[in-house]
Every structure is written in C-alpha cells, then in structure tokens.
Amino acid sequence: MQNVRWWDAAAIAVTVVIAALTLLDPPFGPDDAATCATAGAFLLVHLLWGRRCVPEVDARQHLAIAIVYAVILAVGTAIEPSFAILQAFLYPFVWSTSPSTRSAIIANLLFAVSIVAGYTVRSGVGGLLAGAAVAALSVGFSIALGLWITRIAQFGNERARLLDELQAAQGQLAAMHRDAGIADERARLAREIHDTIAQSLTGMVMVAQRTERRLASVDGEAAASARGDVELMEQMAREALTEARGLVASLAPVESDGGLAEALRRLAATFERETGVRVAVTADAAGLDRELEVVLLRCAQEALANVRKHARASAADVVVTTAGTPPEVVLAVRDDGVGPGDASPGDDGFGLAGMRDRVALVGGRLEFGAGAAGGTVLRVVVPATRDEKGAAP
C-alpha cells in the first residue's frame, strides 16, 4: 500500500472511528472534546508531514515522525484508552515507510512505550499493567508480522533481480545466436562465391591467356582483331575476379572473441597476405560493448575491401582511439592510394551507404574523404557507452 492516497484514506478512516467511538458514549464532556482534538491533531500531522514519508524516508525523518506519532498516541490514550486503536494505522505505516528493519523496530518500541505511558497516566499502577499487556501484545504481533512481510519482500526483490539478470542473459544469448547465424551465412556466401563465380572467372582468365598464345602465331587483320578481343575479355575477367575476391574478403567472418584489437590484427594479416598491401594496426580501445566491437570490425573490413578494390595502395593504417567527453571511439582507416575522387557515402560500389546505416544504428557517424597527404581516409565515430536500453545515449 505505497500509494499515498491509500494512506490518506486510512488516516481519515481511523480518525473517524476514534471520533465515532467518542461521540457514541454520551454525555459529552471535556475528555471527549480533548479526544476528538487529539484525533484531529493526528490527522493534521499526517496530511502536512506524514504523507510526505511515503513511500520511504531516511532514518532521521522516520524517527522524527515516529516520535511525533508516539506523543499523539500517548496523549490520546491518556485521555481515552480507546484511542489506542490508532495503532492499527501506526504500526503498518512505520513498517511501510521505514528505510531499514532497525528503524521500524525502534518506531514499534516507541509506540509500545507511548501506550504504557498513556495507560499509566490515565489509571495509575493498574493502568501500567493493562498498558504493558496491550503494548506487549500489539508490538509483538507487529514486529513478528513486519519481519515476516519484510522477509517476503526481500525474497521478492531477490527474485526480481534474478529475473532481470536472466532476461539480460537471454537477450545476450539471443544476440550471440543472431550474430553466429549472420556470421555463418556470410561464411556460406563467401564459400559459394569463391567456389563458383571466382573459380569460373579464374578459368576464363586462363582460357583467354591460352587463346591469346595461340593467336600470337596467326597473322592477318582478323587475327589482330581477335587478339584485341581476347585481351579485353581477359582484362574484364581479371577485374571481375578482383571484385569477387574483394566480396569474398568482405563477407568472410572475422572472430572478435579476443577483443577488437586482436580481431583487427587478424584481419590485417589476412588482407596483407592476400593483397600484398602493408597494413599497420593501432588499437587502444578496451572494454567496449560487443555490438560496438562488431560494428567497428565490420567497418574496418569494408574499408579494407574498398582499399583492395579501388585504392591501388601499397600501405594502409587502421587506428582505433578513444577520446572526448562523453567518450567516443574513433576508427580511422587510411591508405596511400589514388584517393576517393568524387565518391561519397551513397555511390554504388563503395559500400559506404551500408556502412553509414550500420554506424547510425549505434548512434555514430561516418566521415569519408581524401587524406591530407593523399590517399583516402575513412573515419567512424561511435559513442563508447550505451544506455540501459542498449541504444547510444
């Protein structure tokens, strides 16, 4: 019952009950008026202060409101013993608003003392015994029930925490399965292209070379024209083969289990072995979200594929740094090739539009252009931190 309106209704109800019990026993006298005034004082204190303690306050404020309620309870009980019905509100209230079990038990003991004091003031030694009996029964029941409910609440909170962890683990597992499925499909496509299109183009280049050698011993204008056509066929087949190999390289999965830096080094080593282009890797970004690592790795892979297909470069650099507030991760891929010319993120053949869309999904941006010393520079900037929903802040 942590809705403050329910506590307001309960306070009003217990005040009405106390007033009704007082007014149902005429004739009316000063004690009846004092009891109603004390009940009104309780309601006023609750509406002006007590309701602000919902759903929870710190230990000092909780002790302060408990002391004020205990004084009201003692005064009301000293005037009219039936005023002790106020306990029906006070005990649940202090348990619900308490910051700790210790604070709730202290408040319970204060109310017990106030009951004993009220009965004693009202009836002397006989009231002391009656008040002690009432206080012992009520506070014992309150503490037992409060501890039981508190324990249940703790179990509930622990269960909720474990459920959140389970759901988070399930989400991570689903993401890993999805990534694994995507990687498997990319690997399958790479194998299919390598085993079919690339092999066919390789065969076409070999046939063109063989035909050119045979035509070399034939004279005449027709033979010269045929040799020109064969050379054109060979050139087109070689270009298509280069494109196919670049596509295979961009689709081939690169494992990131050892971290982004290690994955980039493996990618660079493979690229250098296949193309002869020297690739230097510098990466100091650690502790990144796996999704960000995958995005940066795929961008580096696509950037090197563009270097393979278009740059005609002899060397390239892959640099990953973290800087700024809030921190951002910057991936820069530079080459010493012919430069981008008029290409922009959206032109066919460069894959930049898809890269830009991938980066935008994690709240990043893509920069592409000519380098200061020539060649091409591609920069990917993404936030280093993620919010609770998994989106970039």
Checking if the pLDDT of 387 tops 70, the result is no
- pLDDT at position 249, please? 62
Q: What is the mean pLDDT of residues 311-333?
A: 89
Q: Is the dihedral of CA 149, 155, 158, 160 positive or negative?
A: negative
Q: Which of 311, 308, 390, 379 is nearest to 343 (CA)?
A: 311
390 confidence band (pLDDT: 50, 70, 90) = very low
CA pair distance 211, 230, nearest whole angstrom: 7
Please list, residue by residue across 11-45, b when 16 or more beta carbons sit within 10 angstroms of its beta carbon and e when fewer do: beebbebbbeebeeeeeeeeebebbbebbebbbeb
Checking if the pLDDT of 340 tops 60, the result is yes
- pLDDT at position 210, please? 81
CA pair distance 237, 35, nearest whole angstrom: 104
Instruction: Give every CB contact of residue 224 below 8 A, 6+ residues apart in sequence.
Output: none
Checking if the pLDDT of 186 tops 90, the result is no
Checking if the pLDDT of 77 tops 90, the result is yes
- pLDDT at position 386, please? 59
Please list, residue by residue across 101-138, b when 16 or more beta carbons sit within 10 angstroms of its beta carbon and e when fewer do: eebbbbbbebbbbbbbbbbbbbeeeebbebbeebbeeb
DSSP-derived secondary structure for 232-256: HHHHHHHHHHHHHHHHHHHHS----
Q: Is residue 116 part of a domain?
A: yes
Structural domain ending residue among the three candidates 123, 150, 179:
123
Q: Any idea what the CATH number is for the domain that residue 326 is in?
A: 3.30.565.10
Structural domain ending residue among the three candidates 82, 101, 123:
123
Checking if the pLDDT of 184 tops 80, the result is no
For residue 370, count CB atoms less than 10 angstroms from its CB and return exposed for 0-12, middle for 13-18, buried for 19 or more.
middle
Checking if the pLDDT of 365 tops 50, the result is yes
- pLDDT at position 248, please? 67
- What's the pTM? 0.48
Q: Is residue 176 part of a domain?
A: no
Angstrom CA distances, 8 to 14, 86, 104, 139, stand at 10, 14, 20, 23
- pLDDT at position 392, please? 47
| pLDDT, tens only, 99-142 | 999 999 999 999 999 999 999 998 888 888 888 998 899 999 99
- % of the chain beyond a pLDDT of 70: 90
Q: Which of 87-96, 312-321, 369-378 has the lowest mean pLDDT?
A: 369-378
CA pair distance 133, 116, nearest whole angstrom: 9
Task: Count other Cβ atoms within 10 Å, centred on residue 379.
Answer: 17
Supply the range of the domain harboring residue 73: 4-123
Q: Is residue 204 part of a domain?
A: no
Q: In this structure, what token pair is assigned to residue 227? A: 């040799």
Show the CA angle centred on residue 288, arms to residues 165 and 260, nearest 5°.
Answer: 125
Q: What is the mean pLDDT of residues 39-50?
A: 94
- pLDDT at position 318, please? 94
Q: Is residue 174 part of a domain?
A: no
- pLDDT at position 349, please? 47
Q: Is residue 366 part of a domain?
A: yes
Query: Amino acid identity, residue 41?
Result: A
CA pair distance 32, 45, nearest whole angstrom: 20
Checking if the pLDDT of 49 tops 90, the result is yes
- pLDDT at position 55, please? 84
Q: Is residue 227 part of a domain?
A: no
Q: Which of 17-26, 27-36, 171-180, 324-333 has the lowest mean pLDDT?
A: 171-180
Instruction: Give every CB contact of residue 83 below 8 A, 6+ residues apart in sequence.
Output: 18, 35, 38, 39, 73, 76, 77, 118
Please list, residue by residue across 141-158, b when 16 or more beta carbons sit within 10 angstroms of its beta carbon and e when fewer do: ebbeebeeeeeeeeeeee
Structural domain ending residue among the three candidates 123, 154, 170:
123
Q: Is residue 273 part of a domain?
A: yes
Instruction: Give every CB contact of residue 110 below 8 A, 6+ residues apart in sequence.
Output: 66, 67, 70
Q: What is the mean pLDDT of residues 288-313?
A: 84
Collapse the DSSP code of 330 into the 3-class scheme (helix H, G, I; strand E, B; otherwise coil) and give the result: strand
Give residue for tokens 């602000």.
52
Q: What is the mean pLDDT of residues 71-97?
A: 93
| pLDDT, tens only, 266-276 | 888 888 888 88
- pLDDT at position 110, please? 95
| pLDDT, tens only, 238-286 | 777 766 766 666 666 555 566 788 888 888 888 888 888 999 999 887 7
For residues 136 and 291, the model is more confident at: 136
Q: In this structure, what token pair is assigned to residue 184? A: 């498997």
Checking if the pLDDT of 389 tops 80, the result is no
The phi-psi region of residue 66 (left if phi > 0; otherwise alpha if psi is between -120 and 50; otherwise beta) is: alpha
- pLDDT at position 2, please? 65
CB distance 191 to 249 below 8 Å: no
- pLDDT at position 78, please? 94
Show the CA angle centred on residue 356, arms to residues 351 and 357, nearest 5°.
Answer: 105
Q: How many domains does the chain have?
A: 2
224 confidence band (pLDDT: 50, 70, 90) = confident
Question: In the chain, which residue ranges form alpha helices assigned H by DSSP?
Answer: 4-23, 30-48, 59-79, 87-97, 101-123, 125-193, 199-215, 221-251, 260-275, 290-306, 352-360
Q: Is residue 371 part of a domain?
A: yes
State the average pLDDT for the chain: 84
Q: What is the mean pLDDT of residues 142-163?
A: 87
Query: Amino acid identity, residue 373?
Result: A
14 confidence band (pLDDT: 50, 70, 90) = very high
